[in-house]
Structure 1
Amino acid sequence: MSFLSRISSITGPLIAVRHMAKVNNCRLFNYQDGVKRFPVPEDKVSWSVDWPEYQPVDHTHPAVLRGPVWADLDFRKVTPDTPPKYNELDGNVDRKSYSGTYEIVNGLPRNPIGRTGMCGRGLLGRWGPNHAVDPIVSRWKRGEDGAKTMMEGKPVLEFVAIMRNDTRDWAIPGGMIDPGDTVSRTLRKEFGEEAMNSLEATEEEKKEIEAHVNDLFKAGDEVYSGYVDDIRNTDNSWMETVAMNFHDETGSTFNKIKLKAGDDAGDVCWMEASSKLNLYASHLDFIETVVKQRNAAW
């Protein structure tokens, strides 16, 4: 069964159409920190396929096991005072999935898309869904005369891209939603930190950045919300995101914004949207959706 079919069986056809990623990243043999996954062929991904020989590698990164504020306890070894409330809001930790209700097997969440070749949490902090945001900030590419750059009769779109320090991949600037925080506030915060380096700004600069970001993020269009085919996913922990497009039709707002890489970003730039790009995780799918919504060149 294809990735689109698996998504459709869980969430319905709307999400399936809007998510064009292949379920490949989360089955890469080499995990992000060098650990090897148990190989999972395409025809064995679905949990509905009987596979008694399946022996996923059990891996949780030491940084996660140290128990930072963004991570759960190892519920297999430690019994918490209050059991986690999966598939619902657990205090200020959102354990609900955009894909609907996920199964709990032997006391742990099961990846709703299928086998990944790894159990535990890998590099992710939460058992079950780990929620993130991806702000897609876009404008029209323009020449020195201010006219839109055209390609095959359609305008060319540009978006803000950052180079991730961990993988050195180009990506949409984004990040995890902290417990108790909102999607809207996290979108603003992550863009400010990664694309405008607000963490190292002076107090005066922070106020200026906040004003520009708030102006830019007044209104946006949802591109996608749901499961992400992320290289960090495991059988028990997986990434989900809300991708929003904030587009400046005239370019006037972005003239006030200075891009400067910060936090987890090694570089930042305005990147031309193109089908030839190689972006992190499912980010190219999100960009393609924006391009089609804006009727831009691809």
Structure 2
Amino acid sequence: MARWCLARTVTVVSITATLSAVAVRYPSCRLPHPLLHPFRELAYSSVPVHWFNFYPVSMLNCYNPNENVHNKAHTSPYPGSKVERSKVPTDKVSWQVEWEDYKPVEYTAASVLAGPTWADPQISAKNFSPKFNEKDGQVERRSLSGLYEVENGRPRNPSGRTGLVGRGLLGRWGPNHAADPIITRWKRDSSGNKIAHPISGKNILQFVAIKRKDCGEWAIPGGMVDPGEKISATLKREFMEEALNSLQKSRAEKEETEKQMNRLFNQEHFVVYKGYVDDPRNTDNAWIETEAVNYHDEPGEYPHFYLLAVAPLNMLLQTRVKMTERCYR
């Protein structure tokens, strides 16, 4: 799990979307792009787990492909600080546009400069010679978007200017790799039958999300890939830690949860999105990339699977997410 991120309380939710069975694999959908930015350092506490119904909405509603790729990446002040980014006009984001007067602010958080195991040294550090665009020992420095440029020894954000250089809260120079599991199932009644939407007649698909404490927006649980770790291992670990709150379980509970997780995560799955993430922590020299993978519980084998961190059950039937609820983008 990434150690350089802001804390937030986790609430496990299920937002429903009216999709037909054939749409489970989202054939041309880049759905996770706006949802995959949860700050991943957790402050666990006993919080109610809600199942929310989101009617009737396509999961693409949160993503506008015509938006500038840098929206969150221009957030100012920079998260967890009072550092203001240099303003970058929309027409100056691309590196292909010459901008001689561009003077980005330099900032790397003290927690990163302290030299934790998950962070690189400064570029100028003695005996530090990172192999950008390559697998550098256990550290993956290759980008999911292809080759990126290196200027004056520093990698350059392939999606353009952010108004800030250095690493901010991110540990690695260049791409910082994350993994985001999208766990889905069909909504069912007490007899196990699929529930269809009363107007569209389509089955209601549920997926697990978390509500961020810092901004109150919904996001998919996920986290950073540790050095040498396989994406599949990260996906399972992060879902257990964030959505199932496994860090607070007894040994027996963790073992049982592990068995359930192995069955779910070892089944057929589908990579929904791989690539750059527009994130408030991104800088000109460090950015987040993710791989989002859908694991679908088709038979509904885990009716209470996502409620393992549940608190008061009376909260489950009292709240509905309106169409004005914001998803993190």
After TM superposition, the score normalised by the length of structure 1 is: 0.79
Q: Percent identity?
A: 50
Deviations 1:211-264 (A, max 9, x none): 111111122110001111111100000000000011112322344453328xxx
Q: Residue 172 in 1 paired to residue 245 in 2?
A: no
Q: Distance in 1 between matches of 2:250 and 2:269?
A: 28
Note the C-alpha offset of 1:272: 8.8
Note the C-alpha offset of 1:149: 3.1
Q: Residue 129 in 1 paired to residue 193 in 2?
A: no
Q: Distance in 1 between matches of 2:257 and 2:233?
A: 14
Q: Residue 23 in 1 paired to residue 58 in 2?
A: no
Q: Distance in 2 between matches of 1:272 and 1:221?
A: 29
Note the C-alpha offset of 1:154: 2.3
RMSD of aligned alpha carbons: 2.5
After TM superposition, the score normalised by the length of structure 2 is: 0.72
Q: Distance in 2 between matches of 1:216 and 1:226?
A: 24
* SS of structure 1 residue aligned to 2:308: coil
Unmatched runs of 5 consecutive residues or more in structure 2: 1-27, 34-64, 311-315
Note the C-alpha offset of 1:203: 1.2
Note the C-alpha offset of 1:277: 4.5
* SS of structure 1 residue aligned to 2:307: coil
Note the C-alpha offset of 1:197: 1.4
Q: Distance in 2 between matches of 1:17 and 1:254?
A: 27
Deviations 1:18-74 (A, max 9, x none): 354642110123321232111111100000111111111111111111111111111
Aligned residue for 1:50? 98
Note the C-alpha offset of 1:82: 4.5
Unmatched runs of 5 consecutive residues or more in structure 1: 1-15, 262-268, 282-298
Q: Residue 278 in 1 paired to residue 323 in 2?
A: no
Aligned residue for 1:109? 155
Q: Distance in 2 between matches of 1:71 and 1:241?
A: 18
Determine if contact 1:157/1:272 at 8 Å carries over to the other structure: no
Larger relative helix fraction = 1
Aligned residue for 1:186? 234
* Equivalent position amino acid for 1:212 in 2: Q
Q: Distance in 2 between matches of 1:175 and 1:211?
A: 21
Q: Distance in 2 between matches of 1:238 and 1:65?
A: 17
Deviations 1:141-187 (A, max 9, x none): 23445331315232222111112345543211110000011100111
Change (3 A) 1:241 1:272: farther
Q: Distance in 2 between matches of 1:94 and 1:167?
A: 30
Note the C-alpha offset of 1:139: 1.3
* Equivalent position amino acid for 1:239 in 2: I
